Structure 1
Amino acid sequence: MQRRTFNFALAGIALAATAPLVHAQAWPEKPIRMVVAQPAGSGPDSIARLLGEQLSHKWKQSIVVDNKPGGQNAIGAQAAARSPADGYNFYFATSAALVTNPYLFKSLPYDPLKDFAPVGMIGRVPFVLAVNTASPAKTLQDFVAEMKANPGKVTVANEGPKTFGGMMTRLFASQLGVQVNSVPYVSIGAAVTETVGGQTEAVMGDVPALIQMIKAGRLRPIAVTTAKRVSGLEAVPSIADAIPGFDYAGFMAIVAPAGTPAAAIQRFNRDLDSVLSDKEMAAKLLAVGPITEGAGTPEQMAAFLQAEHARWSKLTKDIGILPE
């Protein structure tokens, strides 16, 4: 009788130990909602749907993209943060939502570090500084010399002072000790159009937004914001050539509401990494946005976010951006 009782106890322990594994294998058992803080048809939306299609094949469950644009990503981030932490709600996030917003706004309806659990990285989005083809600047060095010779007169288009492109423009000028006329536009598309048309001399924007005009010969790229050269723009030097250590890029990632079951996060992370590791998928992503190196682990992403917060806190202070 004692031996039988002992065996039952062992069986119970084994069953309890395998319960999380069984749950992980069963997930997902219903459709998954993915909040995107940009409108339908935008770059992030296209990427979310592309990844969602591949993941839905793996999981045999549909992924419903829920677009909630506006408020510098705050509307979507808040909606995602307040979603049930049941393993069926996730947020397709950008660097603005997860890192830079707290240093630009005095108050936010969400806390990027406390309200979300990291799931996995999608990739980095390099920015590029490009000039109108009529510009006398053929190289980064030419452009710097022009800014020094004409303080405050050289125009650089971007999406505004509190966007990634706007902050890169100010940081670039600040670290070189030059003055630049940063011209804000309502969208990167408008900034590109105005630069191509000659209303501004240069534009600072993400590579996907500028690449077609660059390939068409209507914009001349002179520098990228990442320390490494960018695929498709291998001949374009880095701003780090002029400013050692300069290495900035936007990023895209998946997070979940805080408290989401670890089993769901681990399964999502594993399968996201599998999708991103596919060469064909990586090429498709590169054509519309991020450069991927796989999803990493949730722990690696958490460490990355902590480091980015420290870096951007210093950056915004260095270039005089105060929360409003």
Structure 2
Amino acid sequence: MNDNRAVSKNFLEAFWEKGALSPFLAKIKEDNSGLQLRFRGNNTPETITIYYNNHIVWKISKHTRGYKVEVSANHAKGSRKEKLLEHLRREPLGFITNSKHAQSYPYVIKESFDKCFVDLTYNMMVDVIKEFFGVAKYQEKRIQQELFETLTDSQDGLYVYDLEFKQRKCKFENEPDMLAVRYSGGIPQAIVFIEVKSTWKACEDGTSGLTKHLDGMDHYIKESPFLDNRKQEAHDIISAYKDLKLHNPPKIVPNSDSIKRFEMMIILTNTAIDYYHEHEEFIQQYIREKKYNCKITEWTDAKKGIYQ
């Protein structure tokens, strides 16, 4: 089992200048594209996924005939979905949609992709994502993307390098929303598991509430046999961002020796802040009794950052 989300060097190099996938990286780097690249090297085959508002725009993987690019037609419904599939099938895009799976995840396989392909699919998929998810829906996903873009402090703060962690082939409950490295004086200190809560209901929910996530993250830190994998993964992913000149990479990339410990953090936004204020005494007592190494902080404005 490859328990590391970083991808191989030759796959990464395809995104470099003049590489077969370089137009995708150029699009991500455009001002106001709203795109984020994340590594899923533990998929089969290894994959790089590009998101808008934390929803998939392109899922890119290696293939014997070059590279496979998938999009999600599930962002559209009814006649809107049929119209989207029709546009994707047309040249010059030429997506395959002739199976049940491909109706949901249209794909195309090519040796390389050009700017025209990237621009056309970007416009189609971002429009569909905006239309389907709307302003009020899925606020936590948008906030996660906002945090991912903003928390890139490799001097004295958090550098978030991955979202939506899942431990492969081994179930740990309440896995964290984000993974970060905490820096002090420009030196990496710890890997931080972060859970984001944006609504009152999400905090009190019996299966995925605030205390449940605290228990789950602490259990992973104390019981998981994969902590060394997480250290190596942090090094590999941040090194890859440095190679791509993407996501404001730190000067000092963490390694297994520099990461001394694992920590937990809860980031509260919107009505989750109200919940915490009303239940703060109980939550802090719970943390003390369990002896959790956890910080709870509030995110009220992306431009102002996290209030310590």
User: Relative to total residues, which structure has the larger helix share, 1 or 2?
Assistant: 1
Structure with greater Cα Rg: 1
TM-score bracket for the superposition, by shorter chain length: under 0.3
Q: Greater relative contact order (Cα 8 A, min sep 6): structure 1 or 2?
A: 1
Task: Point out the structure with the larger strand share.
Answer: 2
